[in-house]
Each structure stands twice: as C-alpha cells, then as structure tokens.
C-alpha cells in the first residue's frame, strides 16, 4: 500500500507542479516560444482546454488552470487519506488550498535554487535560465528595491528564502498533523 501511495503522491505532485507552472508562466507573460514553456503547455493542454470551456479567464488570468490545480491538490489529499483508511471531511477543501499554496512556495524555492546553481555553471544565454528569471522576477524585484546589490552580490534570494521559510512555518502550523502531505 505504501508503494501505491508513493506513486499517487508523485503523480499528483507532478501534475500540480505542471499546472502551477502553466498559470505562473501566463501570469508573468513569459516567453511562449521557449522550449520549457512549450513543454508545459503541451503537457497540460489535454486537461486544461476542456476545463477552459467551462471556466473562462478573467483579467488576463487563466482561472481554469488555477481551479484545476486546486482541485488536484484537494483530490491528492482525499485519495491518500481514503487509501490510508480515513474518510472525507469538509476541512479537506481548506487544506487543499493550503497544500496548493505550499506547493507554489516549494516550486519557487526550487526554481531559485536551480537559478543559483546555474549562475555558477552556465555562461552566456540559456533559455531555461531566462524563463526562471522571468518567473522569479515578480518576487525578487520588491526585495531588490529595498536591498540593493552589495559589491555585485545579489542578496535578494537569501532574503526571499528567509521570507518563504517564515511563511512555510506559518502555513504548516495551520495544517493538522495528519494533513502534511
């Protein structure tokens, strides 16, 4: 049973990350012709396009994708809880939202770590690094306006990591101990 739960977690998390990235790429108006953007769009189109017929966009935001991501986060919690012998509760709708927010923060954290490592290794133009820069810029720009570069060293990621960890601790404390998935 543990192997099935592990595979379900992996499948739900992979789908959730793809949906979050799709919404995020559209939100920041990232380069649509970038190979990473094309991959995310092509992989997510089979499930997003039918939902778009029911839930239209609003103000330039793809509401269908974010509603689908919330539904996937909630379904992950429900399916794993039921497979573990538990039952459904209405609080799962709230916990599904918290799981979605935590996954967004985790994805932002991973992207910033990859960016930091790639900045040491990659020389010149890299399409993946450009997309990651476009994705993180809305979060790092306000920090950079408060804390400028010090001797060519950008401390905005360190400050962002600290803020994200504080938010993660606050979100984790609002989750029941059994719902940390």
Q: How many Cβ atoms sit within 10 Å of the Cβ of residue 137? A: 12
Residue 65: what pLDDT? 94
The yes-or-no verdict on residue 179 having pLDDT over 60 is: no
CB atoms within 10 A of CB 86: 13
Beta bridge partners of residue 150, listed in sequence order: 153
Nearest-CA neighbor of 98 among 23, 174, 24? 174
Alpha helices of the chain — where are they, by DSSP H?
2-27, 35-52, 63-83, 91-121, 127-146, 156-174
Name 95's Cβ contacts closer than 8 Å, sequence gap at least 6: 74, 77, 175, 176, 179
Number of domains in the chain: 1
Q: How far apart, in whole angstroms, are the C-alpha atoms of residue 163 and residue 174?
A: 17
Q: Which residue segment(s) compose the domain that 168 sits in? A: 2-179
Contact criterion met (CB below 8 Å) for 136 and 154: no
- Would you say residue 177 has pLDDT above 60? no
**What DSSP character marks residue 177?**
G
**Cβ-contact 161, 79 below 8 angstroms:** no
Q: What is the rounded CA–CA span in Å between residue 37 and residue 24?
A: 10
24-40 mean pLDDT = 91
> What are the distances in angstroms from CA 64 to CA 53, 56, 67, 118?
9, 7, 5, 33
pLDDT of residue 15: 95
Residues 7-27 pLDDT 10s: 999 999 999 999 999 999 999
């Amino acid at each position: 049973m543990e192997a099935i739960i592990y595979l379900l977690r992996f499948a739900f998390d992979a789908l959730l990350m793809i949906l979050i990235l799709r919404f995020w790429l559209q939100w920041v108006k990232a380069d649509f012709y970038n190979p990473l953007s094309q991959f995310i769009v092509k992989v997510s189109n089979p499930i997003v396009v039918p939902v778009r017929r029911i839930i239209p966009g609003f103000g330039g935001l793809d509401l269908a994708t974010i509603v689908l991501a919330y539904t996937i986060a909630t379904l992950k919690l429900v399916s794993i809880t039921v497979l573990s012998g538990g039952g459904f509760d209405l609080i799962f709708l709230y916990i599904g939202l918290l799981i979605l927010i935590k996954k967004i923060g985790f994805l932002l954290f991973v992207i910033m770590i990859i960016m930091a490592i790639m900045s040491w290794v990659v020389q010149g133009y890299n399409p993946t690094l450009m997309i990651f820069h476009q994705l993180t810029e809305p979060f790092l720009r306000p920090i950079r306006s408060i804390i400028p570069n010090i001797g060519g060293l950008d401390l905005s990621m360190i400050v962002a990591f600290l803020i994200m960890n504080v938010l993660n601790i606050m979100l984790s404390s609002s989750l029941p101990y059994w719902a940390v998935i």
